[in-house]
Amino acid sequence: GGKIRVRDIGKSYGSTRALEDVSLSVSEGEFCCIVGPSGCGKTTLLRAIAGLDDPDSGSILVDGNPVTDPGLDRGMVFQEYALFPWRTVRGNVRFGLDRPACECADCEARVRELVDLVGLDGFEDAYPKELSGGMKQRVGIARALAVDPEILLMDEPFGSVDARTRDRLHAELLDIWAQTEQTVVFVTHDIDEAVTLADRVVVMDADPGTVRSTLSIDVERP
Ligand code: ADP
Ligand code: ADP
Protein backbone atom coordinates (compact mmCIF):
# COMPACT_ATOMS: atom_id res chain seq x y z
CA GLY A 1 0.00 0.00 0.00
CA GLY A 2 0.88 3.68 0.03
CA LYS A 3 -0.17 4.81 -3.42
CA ILE A 4 -1.31 8.43 -3.57
CA ARG A 5 -3.42 10.00 -6.29
CA VAL A 6 -4.23 13.71 -6.07
CA ARG A 7 -6.58 14.98 -8.74
CA ASP A 8 -7.39 18.60 -9.55
CA ILE A 9 -7.42 19.90 -6.00
CA GLY A 10 -8.02 23.56 -5.25
CA LYS A 11 -7.86 25.46 -1.98
CA SER A 12 -8.41 29.08 -1.02
CA TYR A 13 -7.80 30.91 2.24
CA GLY A 14 -10.19 33.83 1.92
CA SER A 15 -9.04 35.66 -1.18
CA THR A 16 -5.70 33.80 -1.29
CA ARG A 17 -5.70 31.00 -3.84
CA ALA A 18 -3.25 28.51 -2.32
CA LEU A 19 -3.78 25.62 -4.74
CA GLU A 20 -5.22 25.62 -8.26
CA ASP A 21 -6.02 22.35 -10.04
CA VAL A 22 -3.08 20.43 -8.63
CA SER A 23 -2.71 16.81 -9.69
CA LEU A 24 -0.03 14.40 -8.55
CA SER A 25 0.52 10.68 -8.33
CA VAL A 26 3.01 8.97 -6.07
CA SER A 27 3.68 5.25 -6.39
CA GLU A 28 3.98 2.77 -3.61
CA GLY A 29 7.40 2.95 -1.97
CA GLU A 30 8.49 6.00 -3.93
CA PHE A 31 10.52 8.80 -2.31
CA CYS A 32 8.98 11.90 -3.86
CA CYS A 33 10.22 15.43 -3.15
CA ILE A 34 8.04 18.43 -3.83
CA VAL A 35 9.98 21.63 -4.41
CA GLY A 36 8.89 25.17 -5.09
CA PRO A 37 9.32 28.69 -3.74
CA SER A 38 7.86 29.79 -0.43
CA GLY A 39 4.12 30.40 -0.65
CA CYS A 40 3.45 28.20 -3.70
CA GLY A 41 1.23 25.85 -1.71
CA LYS A 42 3.50 22.96 -0.70
CA THR A 43 2.36 22.86 2.92
CA THR A 44 -1.27 23.17 1.87
CA LEU A 45 -0.89 20.22 -0.53
CA LEU A 46 0.87 18.06 2.10
CA ARG A 47 -1.70 18.88 4.79
CA ALA A 48 -4.47 17.92 2.38
CA ILE A 49 -2.81 14.54 1.72
CA ALA A 50 -2.41 14.13 5.48
CA GLY A 51 -6.13 14.79 5.92
CA LEU A 52 -5.37 17.73 8.22
CA ASP A 53 -7.04 20.23 5.86
CA ASP A 54 -9.89 19.81 3.40
CA PRO A 55 -9.36 20.99 -0.16
CA ASP A 56 -12.25 23.00 -1.65
CA SER A 57 -12.36 20.87 -4.77
CA GLY A 58 -10.84 17.79 -6.35
CA SER A 59 -10.06 14.44 -4.81
CA ILE A 60 -7.28 12.66 -2.95
CA LEU A 61 -7.11 8.88 -2.93
CA VAL A 62 -4.76 6.74 -0.87
CA ASP A 63 -4.77 3.15 -2.09
CA GLY A 64 -8.03 3.96 -3.84
CA ASN A 65 -9.76 5.30 -0.72
CA PRO A 66 -10.76 8.94 -0.35
CA VAL A 67 -8.79 10.82 2.31
CA THR A 68 -11.26 12.23 4.79
CA ASP A 69 -9.26 12.69 7.98
CA PRO A 70 -5.84 11.94 9.43
CA GLY A 71 -5.47 8.17 9.25
CA LEU A 72 -3.12 5.60 10.72
CA ASP A 73 -1.80 4.90 7.22
CA ARG A 74 -0.13 8.34 7.16
CA GLY A 75 2.47 9.82 9.50
CA MET A 76 3.35 13.51 9.39
CA VAL A 77 6.57 15.30 10.33
CA PHE A 78 6.27 19.07 10.79
CA GLN A 79 8.76 21.81 10.02
CA GLU A 80 8.83 23.19 13.56
CA TYR A 81 8.77 19.75 15.21
CA ALA A 82 5.37 20.29 16.91
CA LEU A 83 6.49 18.27 19.94
CA PHE A 84 4.61 18.42 23.22
CA PRO A 85 6.94 20.45 25.47
CA TRP A 86 5.57 18.91 28.68
CA ARG A 87 6.15 15.35 27.46
CA THR A 88 9.48 13.55 27.46
CA VAL A 89 10.97 11.93 24.36
CA ARG A 90 9.28 8.71 25.41
CA GLY A 91 5.97 10.52 25.96
CA ASN A 92 6.13 12.28 22.59
CA VAL A 93 6.90 9.05 20.73
CA ARG A 94 4.24 7.17 22.65
CA PHE A 95 1.76 9.82 21.57
CA GLY A 96 2.23 8.63 18.00
CA LEU A 97 0.97 5.18 18.94
CA ASP A 98 -2.66 4.47 18.45
CA ARG A 99 -2.98 4.25 22.25
CA PRO A 100 -0.93 7.20 23.52
CA ALA A 101 -1.50 6.60 27.23
CA CYS A 102 -0.76 2.90 27.14
CA GLU A 103 2.22 1.75 29.16
CA CYS A 104 1.87 -1.97 28.44
CA ALA A 105 5.00 -3.98 27.68
CA ASP A 106 4.26 -4.06 23.94
CA CYS A 107 3.86 -0.30 23.71
CA GLU A 108 6.94 0.28 25.84
CA ALA A 109 8.93 -2.07 23.59
CA ARG A 110 7.66 -0.32 20.47
CA VAL A 111 8.61 3.08 21.85
CA ARG A 112 12.10 1.79 22.73
CA GLU A 113 12.48 0.32 19.23
CA LEU A 114 11.52 3.67 17.65
CA VAL A 115 13.82 5.66 19.91
CA ASP A 116 16.66 3.31 18.92
CA LEU A 117 15.74 3.55 15.24
CA VAL A 118 16.24 7.33 15.27
CA GLY A 119 19.39 7.11 17.38
CA LEU A 120 18.06 8.64 20.60
CA ASP A 121 18.64 5.79 23.02
CA GLY A 122 19.66 7.26 26.34
CA PHE A 123 17.46 10.32 25.84
CA GLU A 124 14.09 8.71 26.60
CA ASP A 125 13.51 10.90 29.67
CA ALA A 126 14.71 14.19 28.18
CA TYR A 127 12.29 17.02 27.44
CA PRO A 128 12.25 18.76 24.05
CA LYS A 129 13.86 21.94 25.43
CA GLU A 130 16.91 19.87 26.42
CA LEU A 131 17.41 18.63 22.86
CA SER A 132 19.10 20.13 19.79
CA GLY A 133 17.05 20.85 16.67
CA GLY A 134 18.24 17.68 14.95
CA MET A 135 17.36 15.59 17.98
CA LYS A 136 13.92 17.18 18.21
CA GLN A 137 13.27 16.25 14.61
CA ARG A 138 14.41 12.68 15.27
CA VAL A 139 11.67 12.58 17.91
CA GLY A 140 9.21 13.96 15.35
CA ILE A 141 10.19 11.19 12.92
CA ALA A 142 9.91 8.48 15.58
CA ARG A 143 6.45 9.76 16.53
CA ALA A 144 5.33 9.76 12.89
CA LEU A 145 6.59 6.19 12.43
CA ALA A 146 4.95 4.89 15.60
CA VAL A 147 1.96 3.24 13.93
CA ASP A 148 4.10 1.97 11.06
CA PRO A 149 2.30 4.10 8.47
CA GLU A 150 2.32 3.26 4.76
CA ILE A 151 3.08 6.89 3.97
CA LEU A 152 5.45 9.36 5.59
CA LEU A 153 4.66 13.02 4.91
CA MET A 154 7.43 15.50 5.73
CA ASP A 155 7.10 19.29 5.61
CA GLU A 156 10.58 20.87 5.39
CA PRO A 157 11.57 18.70 8.35
CA PHE A 158 15.22 19.80 8.31
CA GLY A 159 14.66 23.48 7.57
CA SER A 160 15.64 24.50 11.10
CA VAL A 161 18.82 22.46 11.59
CA ASP A 162 22.39 23.30 10.64
CA ALA A 163 23.91 21.96 7.41
CA ARG A 164 26.05 19.24 9.01
CA THR A 165 23.20 17.89 11.07
CA ARG A 166 21.02 18.00 7.99
CA ASP A 167 23.48 15.82 6.06
CA ARG A 168 23.44 13.30 8.88
CA LEU A 169 19.66 13.33 9.06
CA HIS A 170 19.43 12.76 5.30
CA ALA A 171 21.54 9.61 5.61
CA GLU A 172 19.52 8.42 8.60
CA LEU A 173 16.24 9.06 6.85
CA LEU A 174 17.35 7.10 3.76
CA ASP A 175 18.42 4.23 6.04
CA ILE A 176 15.02 4.20 7.71
CA TRP A 177 13.27 4.42 4.35
CA ALA A 178 15.28 1.43 3.07
CA GLN A 179 14.07 -0.56 6.08
CA THR A 180 10.42 0.50 6.07
CA GLU A 181 9.84 0.70 2.30
CA GLN A 182 7.34 3.47 2.90
CA THR A 183 6.04 5.95 0.40
CA VAL A 184 7.61 9.30 1.33
CA VAL A 185 6.42 12.75 0.26
CA PHE A 186 9.02 15.30 1.32
CA VAL A 187 8.43 19.02 0.89
CA THR A 188 11.34 21.44 0.63
CA HIS A 189 12.21 24.72 -1.07
CA ASP A 190 15.80 23.46 -1.46
CA ILE A 191 16.39 21.77 -4.83
CA ASP A 192 19.75 20.36 -3.66
CA GLU A 193 18.04 18.65 -0.76
CA ALA A 194 15.36 17.28 -3.08
CA VAL A 195 17.91 15.85 -5.51
CA THR A 196 19.89 14.30 -2.64
CA LEU A 197 16.87 12.42 -1.34
CA ALA A 198 14.32 11.77 -4.05
CA ASP A 199 13.51 9.13 -6.61
CA ARG A 200 11.45 11.82 -8.27
CA VAL A 201 11.22 15.58 -7.89
CA VAL A 202 7.97 17.41 -8.47
CA VAL A 203 8.24 21.14 -9.09
CA MET A 204 5.46 23.50 -8.03
CA ASP A 205 5.17 26.91 -9.60
CA ALA A 206 5.12 30.22 -7.76
CA ASP A 207 1.87 30.77 -9.57
CA PRO A 208 -0.69 29.43 -7.06
CA GLY A 209 0.01 25.78 -6.58
CA THR A 210 0.44 24.73 -10.16
CA VAL A 211 2.47 21.58 -10.55
CA ARG A 212 4.50 22.83 -13.47
CA SER A 213 6.50 19.80 -14.33
CA THR A 214 7.85 16.60 -12.97
CA LEU A 215 11.25 15.25 -13.69
CA SER A 216 12.72 11.89 -12.94
CA ILE A 217 16.07 11.82 -11.26
CA ASP A 218 18.05 8.64 -10.75
CA VAL A 219 19.65 8.57 -7.37
CA GLU A 220 22.43 6.13 -6.65
CA ARG A 221 21.64 4.40 -3.42
CA PRO A 222 24.41 2.88 -1.38
P1 ADP B 1 4.41 26.87 0.98
O2 ADP B 1 4.32 25.71 1.90
O3 ADP B 1 4.79 26.49 -0.42
O4 ADP B 1 5.26 27.96 1.53
P5 ADP B 1 1.69 27.34 1.80
O6 ADP B 1 0.89 26.15 1.42
O7 ADP B 1 2.12 27.47 3.22
O8 ADP B 1 2.93 27.47 0.82
O9 ADP B 1 0.88 28.64 1.46
C10 ADP B 1 0.29 28.89 0.18
C11 ADP B 1 -0.41 30.23 0.20
O12 ADP B 1 -1.53 30.16 1.10
C13 ADP B 1 0.47 31.36 0.74
O14 ADP B 1 0.07 32.52 0.05
C15 ADP B 1 0.09 31.45 2.20
O16 ADP B 1 0.31 32.73 2.72
C17 ADP B 1 -1.37 31.09 2.17
N18 ADP B 1 -1.81 30.40 3.41
C19 ADP B 1 -1.36 29.21 3.88
N20 ADP B 1 -1.98 28.87 5.02
C21 ADP B 1 -2.86 29.87 5.27
C22 ADP B 1 -3.83 30.09 6.31
N23 ADP B 1 -4.01 29.23 7.31
N24 ADP B 1 -4.56 31.22 6.23
C25 ADP B 1 -4.39 32.10 5.23
N26 ADP B 1 -3.51 31.95 4.22
C27 ADP B 1 -2.75 30.85 4.24
P1 ADP C 1 5.76 27.05 5.25
O2 ADP C 1 6.73 27.66 4.29
O3 ADP C 1 6.15 25.70 5.73
O4 ADP C 1 4.35 27.07 4.75
P5 ADP C 1 5.08 29.40 6.67
O6 ADP C 1 5.95 30.21 7.56
O7 ADP C 1 4.72 29.89 5.34
O8 ADP C 1 5.77 27.97 6.56
O9 ADP C 1 3.71 29.06 7.45
C10 ADP C 1 3.69 28.62 8.78
C11 ADP C 1 2.25 28.37 9.19
O12 ADP C 1 1.43 29.56 9.06
C13 ADP C 1 1.56 27.30 8.35
O14 ADP C 1 0.76 26.49 9.20
C15 ADP C 1 0.69 28.05 7.38
O16 ADP C 1 -0.47 27.30 7.04
C17 ADP C 1 0.34 29.30 8.17
N18 ADP C 1 0.22 30.47 7.30
C19 ADP C 1 0.98 30.76 6.25
N20 ADP C 1 0.60 31.89 5.67
C21 ADP C 1 -0.44 32.35 6.42
C22 ADP C 1 -1.28 33.49 6.34
N23 ADP C 1 -1.17 34.39 5.36
N24 ADP C 1 -2.24 33.64 7.28
C25 ADP C 1 -2.38 32.73 8.25
N26 ADP C 1 -1.63 31.63 8.36
C27 ADP C 1 -0.68 31.44 7.45
pLDDT band at 213 (very low <50, low <70, confident <90, very high): low
Atom of ligand 1 nearest to the CA of 40: 3
pLDDT, tens digit (0-9, with 9 covering 90-100), for 21-42? 899 999 999 999 999 888 899 9
pLDDT band at 218 (very low <50, low <70, confident <90, very high): low
Q: What is the pTM of this model?
A: 0.86
Asked whether 188 lines ligand 2 (CB < 6 A), one says no
Interval between CA 44 and ligand 2 midpoint (Å): 9
Give the integer Cα–Cα distance in Å for 63 and 40: 26
pLDDT, tens digit (0-9, with 9 covering 90-100), for 32-68? 999 988 889 999 999 999 999 999 999 999 999 999 8
pLDDT, tens digit (0-9, with 9 covering 90-100), for 71-83? 889 999 999 899 9
Ligand nearest to the CA of 159: 2
Identify the residue whose C-alpha is closest to ligand 1 atom 15: 39
pLDDT band at 206 (very low <50, low <70, confident <90, very high): confident
CB atoms within 10 A of CB 216: 8
Q: Cβ distance 6 to 45 under 8 Å?
A: yes
Give the integer Cα–Cα distance in Å for 154 and 156: 6
pLDDT, tens digit (0-9, with 9 covering 90-100), for 94-132? 998 878 788 889 999 999 999 999 999 999 999 999 999
pLDDT band at 6 (very low <50, low <70, confident <90, very high): very high
Residue 187 has pLDDT above 90, yes or no: yes
* Residue from 11, 48, 13, 19 nearest 211 by CA: 19
